[in-house]
Structure 1
Amino acid sequence: MDSQIHKIHQQLMDKDITCTDLVQGRLDLLKQNTNNTVNSLLDILALDLAGKVDAKIAKGETIGLLEGIPFGVKDVYMVQGTLTTASSKLLKNYKSAYTATAIQKLMDAGAIPLVKENCDSFGHGSSSENTIFGAVKNAINPELVAGGSSGGSAVNVAKDYTVFSIGGDSGGSIRQPAGYNHIYGLKPTYGRISRYGLMGYASSTDCVGPLAKSIEDIRIVLNVMSGKDTKDQMTYASETISEKSILNHEPIKTIGYFKSFIENDAIDPQIKSDFLAAIEKIKAKGIAVKPLDFFDPNTLVSTYYTLTMAETASNLSRLDGTNYGNRIEAETLKETYAVTRSENFSEESKRRIVGGNQVLSQGFSDDIYLKALALRDTISERFENNFNDVDIIVSPVTPNTPPKIGKSLKDPLTMYLSDGYTVGFSLGQLPTITVPQGTETGLQITAAKNNDELVLKFANFLKDTI
């Protein structure tokens, strides 16, 4: 299978390249890039680690598959001693005191972090424009948005600045930018990878996941990051997915798609046409296809944002300048809190915090928040029923192609609705991958909980089918 990780590993072992030259070359590309993907470079750390890999090779020692492989980190993950800004004014000078579990596992396997990557501030956005570092520019067309919130991570992979990057996905923040930049992006089953050290956006849907140019590289990175972590009670032990296992798609007999997604008035006619053409190609391979009834995308968006705004209001309540962040003094403590948060949070973050506090407030929580919780349970039950009938659900990643930079900032509602095809799978806590085939923004492949291997199987099958 096509894999940059395998290719670079072999080049290092054969001494065709040195790890130091590899890392320095990628750092140079990141410094020169004009897509606004970089919040900070980890050049001193990266070159030090690269030197250690070269020393091992010079001694004739065997190196692990990920040793010396350069990767990117979305700037919402802690990496000890480095700036972790969440692309926000509030945390622009904050340095991590520890390293996130998922990132530490990669570093323990020898992978080398190069860069903290630009993103929507605190993950609040679907375009990577809500950032103090400037809008991330799409890898294919720099006039368009990169998608969000993991836009910098997706562009760095697409432009070969990093071999892979680690994004964060709450409602589509890995899958949508992967689709916009024509690469692979995986949101694993909720709890498969520890969230410890990830700045929380919405605790009930936050997932750590990889972006890469091949399914094999996604598989390798997923295996390393997966596993139970005592620092995250939602994690669980999971089995390793082998390279051989994802070559066999025979267990997949029936796939489904949601009629409400394809018959929706908001979908771009070309995306609809391309999606239906992809379905016909899948049918031609002998796989049964079943249309499924599901919720309207607007209902999914409303449910998702009701719950996640409430959770982000709670998660960000600690950021008042007292223990963390850029404190702005005023005459009283209450005024200090107010001006610190008002001046340092982006307009989008403030919109979500205010919305979250509203739905949690007395008089509104019963009518709004509790109803959204009940609807999420209904959505999960519907997914369980669907997966009794089909093995895989295939859907477009987005209803439309990437907008021009600046458009989403003027129309937040349209930005929220662009998440209509991704947020439902987040509410269901299901494994979902974006593949760069089928439509202009790719296809989304989803399986039942804990069936991450099945998702990779079908993604590999589609690689040679569409």
Structure 2
Amino acid sequence: MASQIHTLHQQLVNKEISCTALIQEKLDALKPNTNQTVNALLDTFALDLAAKVDAKIAKGETIGLLEGIPFGIKDVYMLQGTYTTASSELLKHYKSAYTATAIQKLLDAGAIPVVKENCDSFGHGSSSENTIFGAVKNALNPNLVGGGSSGGSAVNVAKDYTVFSIGGDTGGSVRQPAGYNHVYGLKPSYGRISRYGLMAYASSTDCVGPIAKSVEDIRIVLNVMSGKDPKDQTTYDASAIEAETISDYSNIKTVGYFKNFIDSDAIDSKIKADFLATIEKIKAKGIEVKALDFFKSDILVSTYYTLAMAETASNLSRLDGSNYGNRIEDKNLKESYAVTRSENFSEETKRRIVGGNQVLSQGFSDEIYLKGLALRDAISENFEKDFEAVDIILSPVTPSTPPEIGSSLKDPHAMYLSDAYTVGFSLGQLPTLTVPQGTETGLQITAAKHNDELVLKFANFLKDTI
């Protein structure tokens, strides 16, 4: 698909549409909440900004490329003065006191947020069912899950309710729902975009990620949000990625894939067949394809969840109803803390907090947590060797198709395993993009750390090839 951002920008400049009419159109589409993607409409805020854009155009002033473009925000990002609930009972009345850096950069560029989007509570889930606002319904089949945890964001893009949306990816939470809903979803290199103002799930793998319908729109939004932020010490200066450079993919010579992902008994036979057919099409273009060895998917999943649960237990310890959240009073302070957290956290969030406290507890931390850290280092070293042999790693996004709504809640273990093909790249902190091609849930393109440009290049190659 062509860039929606460029198209709408030109229509605004040519006065073919007004910004107010564009924003109202998106708000009207979102209001029925057909797919349960909406936590809050930002109607007054958005229409005020739209009026200012229209006034600039009427005066003949130049507007920026993103100015007046409507977008959605996963409800884990701070936007000053708006509710930021994380789709949780605990924070359902919490109003942001400040704005996240990534969102502020988009506002500074003139983009207009129209909706806070439904997601798994605190990012805990792979289906966007773990939410007080009702399960997100898949854009293609409302009986299926929207994917998680950024399900509302992916569905809104797929349904054209937003031009792009900002999700959050910890272990696949942008890439998996993007695959389930046939759109593009990027997890950039860790540190490329500031996490300041994003509610932390697992700080060592949390990434801000754009979701859109074209590679070009992903590139535009990524450039705006990228860069060093003094409020996030993990960030770094990142050069802008130019449209011309990602149109030339002649320097991509080798592609690798993990044969244990494809030989696994867990992978759906149709996804496997489609993936292998894609590999043959790539070979036909003269690119060398190499089968690579990697850690078994169950090791990846257990390593990721060991570390992620430990970090979320630590990050959510501040939510006790004293400074943040829906406080429930009891007979003393300790009991108030206990009942506040017990009544307000979802079952999945409590499961992850208990698991995290277990692996960090005395007697278990050496045996489990430190082993997880060592395995993460080994995974990163494995990736470094792989990228000495290949330019790109290609993989399925998920081993199976989207489940029906309700089934994941009955089987948390199956939900964790649905992340088997995404979590390894999170542990390696690598740039990874879901593209809506190749299999029923898309393909995943991964490059070496800080090489986000190459991921977008290969996405353009696939768009022209399959």
Same fold by TM-score greater than 0.5? yes
Q: What secondary structure, in the 3-state scheme, does the structure 2 residue paired with 1:139 have?
A: coil
Partners of 1:286 and 1:444 in 2: how far apart?
20
SS in 1 for 2:210: strand
Q: Distance in 2 between matches of 1:67 and 1:104?
A: 13
* 1:149-189 deviation line (CA, Å, top 9, x unaligned): 00000000000000000000000000000000000000000
Indicate the residue corresponding to 1:32 in structure 2: 32
For 2:98 and 2:33, locate their aligned partners in 1 and report how far apart those are by CA, in whole Å: 29
In the alignment, the residues of structure 2 paired with residue 209 and residue 375 of structure 1 have an alpha-carbon distance, to the nearest angstrom, of 25
- Does residue 1:428 correspond to 2:411, yes or no? no
Corresponding position of 1:139? 139
Structure 2 equivalent of residue 335 of structure 1: 335
Q: What letter corresponds to residue 169 of structure 1 in structure 2?
A: D
Question: In the alignment, which residue of structure 2 is the partner of 1:17?
Answer: 17
Secondary structure of 1:425's partner?
helix
Matches within 5 A, 1:373-412: 373-412=373-412
Within 2, Cα distance between the matches of 1:250 and 1:296? Answer: 32
- In the alignment, the residues of structure 1 paired with residue 41 and residue 166 of structure 2 have an alpha-carbon distance, to the nearest angstrom, of 15
Q: CA deviation at 1:394?
A: 0.1
Alignment of 1:10-409 (within 5 A): 10-409=10-409
2-structure distance, mates of 1:113, 1:166: 10
Task: State how far apart, in whole Å, the 2-side matches of 1:262 and 1:295 are.
Answer: 13
Match of 2:453 in 1: 453
Aligned residue number for residue 417 of structure 1: 417
**Residue identity matched to 2:305:** Y
Q: Distance in 1 between matches of 2:306 and 2:376?
A: 11
Deviations 1:386-431 (A, max 9, x none): 0000000000000000000000000000000010000000000000
Q: How far is 1:2 from its partner?
A: 1.2
Q: How far apart, CA to CA, are the structure 2 residues paired with 1:156 and 1:269?
A: 29
TM-score, normalised to structure 1's length? 1.00
Unmatched 5+ residue regions in structure 1? none
Q: Partner of 1:71: helix, strand, or coil?
A: strand
> How many Å apart are 1:251 and its aligned residue?
1.2
Three-state SS of the structure 2 residue aligned to 1:303 is: helix
When the two structures are superposed, what TM-score results if normalisation uses the length of structure 2? Answer: 1.00
Deviation track 1:296-352 (CA, whole Å, cap 9, x = no partner) reads: 111000000000000000000000000000000000110000000000000000000
Query: Secondary structure at 2:166's aligned position in 1?
Result: strand
In 1, the alpha carbon distance for the partners of 2:417 and 2:105 equals 35
| Superposition deviation, residue 246 in structure 1 | 0.4
CA shift, 1:455, in A, is: 0.1
The percent identity for this pair of structures is 81
Query: Cα offset for 1:33?
Result: 3.1
Per the TM alignment, residue 209 of structure 1 is displaced from its structure 2 partner at its CA by 0.8
**Cα distance in 1 for residues equivalent to 2:465 and 2:80:** 43
What is the letter of the counterpart of residue 374 of structure 2?
Answer: A
What amino acid is the match of 1:82?
T
Name the aligned partner's letter for residue 126 of structure 2.
S
Residue 465 of structure 1 corresponds to which residue in structure 2? 465
**Counterpart of 1:12 in 2: which secondary structure?**
helix
Using the alignment, how far apart are the partners of 2:286 and 2:41 within structure 1? 48
CA distance in 1, matches of 2:89, 2:428: 33
Distance 1:6 1:108 in 2: 18
Structure 2 unaligned residues grouped into runs of 5+ = none
* Amino acid paired to 2:77: Y
CA distance in 2 between partners of 1:116 and 1:32 (Å): 14
Matches of 1:107 and 1:30 in 2, distance apart? 20
Cα distance in 2 for partners of 1:33, 1:217 equals 25
Aligned to 2:160, what secondary structure does the other structure show?
coil
Letter in 2 for 1:371: K
Rounded to whole Å, the distance in 2 between the matches of 1:344 and 1:327 is 9
Distance (Å, rounded) in 1 between the aligned partners of 2:398 and 2:465: 21
Cα distance in 1 for residues equivalent to 2:234 and 2:251 = 29
Once residues 369 and 264 of structure 2 are traced to their aligned partners in structure 1, the CA distance between those partners, rounded to angstroms, is 26
The aligned length equals 466
1:12-41, CA deviations, whole angstroms, 9 ceiling, x for partnerless residues?
000000000000010000002310000001
Partner deviation per Cα, 1:417-453 (whole Å, 9 max, x = no partner): 0100000000000000000000000000000000000
Find the residue that maps to 1:161 and give its secondary structure.
coil
Alpha-carbon separation, structure 2, partners of 1:33 and 1:24? 15
Instruction: Flag as ranges the 4+ runs of structure 1 deviating above 3 A.
Output: none
Aligned AA for 2:199?
M
* Superposed CA offset, 1:97-150 (max 9, x none): 000000000000000000000000000000000000000000000000000000
Give the distance between the partners of 1:92 and 1:61, measured in 2 at CA: 40
Amino acid at match of 2:449: K
Q: What secondary structure, in the 3-state scheme, does the structure 2 residue paired with 1:32 have?
A: coil
Structure 2 SS opposite 1:329: coil
Q: What letter matches 1:344 in structure 2?
A: N
Task: Give the match's secondary structure for 2:65.
Answer: coil
SS in 2 for 1:168: strand
Work out whether 1:6 is the aligned partner of 2:6: yes
CA distance in 1, matches of 2:172, 2:70: 25
Q: Per-residue deviation at 1:242?
A: 0.3
Q: Provide Cα deviations, 1:347-391, integer angstroms capped at 9, x if missing partner.
A: 000000000000000000000000000000000000000000000
Question: Could you tell me how far 1:464 is from its partner in structure 2?
Answer: 1.3
Distance in structure 1 (CA, Å) of the matches to 2:453 and 2:175 = 17
Distance, in Å, in 2 between the alignment partners of 1:33 and 1:394 is 35
